[in-house]
Amino acid sequence: MPAKVLVTREIPEAGLRTLREAGFDVTVLSEAPPAREELLEAAEGAEGVLSTVTETIDGEFMEAAGDGLKVVANMAVGYDNVDLGAAGRGASSSPTPRRPRRDHGRRRVHAPARRGAAPRGGRAGPARGPVGVVGPEALHGPGRVGKRLGVVGLGRIGKAVARRARGFGMEVVYYNRSRKPEAERELGARRMELGELLETSDFVSVHTPLTEEAHHLIGAEELGRMKPRAVLVNTSRGPVVDEAALADALEAGNIFAAGLDVYEEEPKVHPKLLERENVVLAPHIGSGSIETRDKMAVLAAENIRAVLMGEPPKSPVEE
């Protein structure tokens, strides 16, 4: 009997083709995201699971799947939706290719610095756009040349954003649990404690994974330490930043602007943030190119194929 592989929602055909060509019995749930009951029912008997961030893969799910489950491959940058302790019998992978997300992080730095009003002004036209749209002080903000970028979480994406920042003549400092000597040599970056980074950086870009310690890592106290003309960017996970505190900081003028691609309760956005002209909001599209989503689906599928054929996963999560 071919091994059963559950795909928890529709994914690019390239990934499904990889699984089917391997001879697996592939079940794809059509509801996006699937109801919990449907997900647990479909898990029964699965030897491999290809999930996305909208599905919670926990002990209850593992129990529903049964003892035959060998691998969980998560089609996402992070894996905070997967209980790694419960998934210990198999593997959980994080297969997002690098380029689109790091480029998206760079754009999130640029757009809030221009107050994010240009797109609205362009659609509305000068007569109905933001106040003073044709004046010398319209849509302006802090430049990047010679400014300091503080990177919170210097993993592969954080390093890629830092490289691009260096191309704009920015100084790079970073906060990370451990030092990154190679990155320091390559980028001329300096490691700082989080408080000092926030107090001295002109732009702060967040790239840390979501863990218990990282929940609300950037809250009211941390925002209060930032410069009044500083820009905060979060393309990691929504709960790393306290949205309510961020909305208050933007409203009070404690920081200049923010750019967000992720939210605490996706797809919901804090209503105060929706009202702000000095925040740029994107609907979690950092990996949103056709090519990247295809690569994500294929890599997740290849992780499943490898494990079910007795080989090591291509991109295992290291706890």
Average pLDDT over residues 98-112: 43
Tell me, yes or no, whether 219 and 123 share the same domain: yes
Tell me, yes or no, whether 68 and 149 share the same domain: no
Q: How far apart are CA 278 and CA 76, in angstroms?
A: 28
Q: What is the 3-state secondary structure (H, E, C) of the chain?
A: CCCEEEECCCCCHHHHHHHHHCCCEEEECCCCCCCHHHHHHHHCCCCEEEECCCCCECHHHHHHHCCCCCEEEECCCCCCCECCCHHHHCCEECCCCCHHHHHHHHHHHHHHHCCCCHHHHHHHCCCCCCCCCCCCCCCCCCCCCCCEEEEECCCHHHHHHHHHHHHCCCEEEEECCCCCHHHHHHHCCEECCHHHHHHHCCEEEECCCCCCCCCCCECHHHHHCCCCCCEEEECCCHHHECHHHHHHHHHHCCCCEEEECCCCECCECCHHHHHCCCEEECCCCCCCCHHHHHHHHHHHHHHHHHHHCCCCCCCECCC
Domain that includes residue 44, residue range: 4-97+290-308
pLDDT at position 129 is: 46
Tell me, yes or no, whether 276 and 137 share the same domain: yes
Is 226 a member of any domain? yes
Tell me, yes or no, whether 229 and 140 share the same domain: yes
- Among residues of the chain, what percentage have pLDDT more than 70? 78
Is 318 a member of any domain? no
Is 81 a member of any domain? yes
Angle between helices 13-21 and 290-308 (to 10 degrees): 20
In this model, does residue 21 exceed pLDDT 90? yes
pLDDT at position 80 is: 76
What predicted TM-score, i.e. pTM, was given to this entire model?
0.60
Please give the tally of structural domains in the chain.
Answer: 2
Tell me, yes or no, whether 85 and 215 share the same domain: no
Does residue 246 contact residue 254 with C-beta atoms inside 8 Å?
no
- The band of 124, judged by pLDDT with boundaries at 50, 70 and 90, is very low
Tell me, yes or no, whether 40 and 155 share the same domain: no
In this model, does residue 106 exceed pLDDT 70? no
Is 185 a member of any domain? yes
pLDDT at position 81 is: 84
pLDDT at position 218 is: 98
Tell me, yes or no, whether 25 and 117 share the same domain: no
- The band of 121, judged by pLDDT with boundaries at 50, 70 and 90, is very low
Q: Which of 270, 284, 293, 305 is catalytic?
A: 284
pLDDT at position 230 is: 96
Is 313 a member of any domain? no
Tell me, yes or no, whether 41 and 118 share the same domain: no
Q: Which of 9, 101, 106, 237 is catalytic?
A: 237
Q: Active site includes 216?
A: no
Least confident of 75-89, 100-114, 179-193: 100-114
Q: Active site includes 266?
A: yes
In this model, does residue 154 exceed pLDDT 50? yes
Tell me, yes or no, whether 184 and 221 share the same domain: yes
- Among residues of the chain, what percentage have pLDDT more than 90? 59
Tell me, yes or no, whether 145 and 227 share the same domain: yes
Is 218 a member of any domain? yes
**CATH number, residue 187:** 3.40.50.720
Tokens representing residue 100 in the block: 């689109």
Average pLDDT over residues 163-167: 91
Average pLDDT over residues 304-315: 90
Tell me, yes or no, whether 208 and 89 share the same domain: no
Tell me, yes or no, whether 189 and 266 share the same domain: yes
Over the chain, what is the mean pLDDT?
83
Is 245 a member of any domain? yes
Tokens representing residue 208 in the block: 């840390």
pLDDT at position 31 is: 85
Is 319 a member of any domain? no
Average pLDDT over residues 38-60: 93
Average pLDDT over residues 273-292: 77
Cα 190 to chain centroid, rounded: 24
Q: How far apart are CA 7 and CA 15, in angstroms?
A: 10
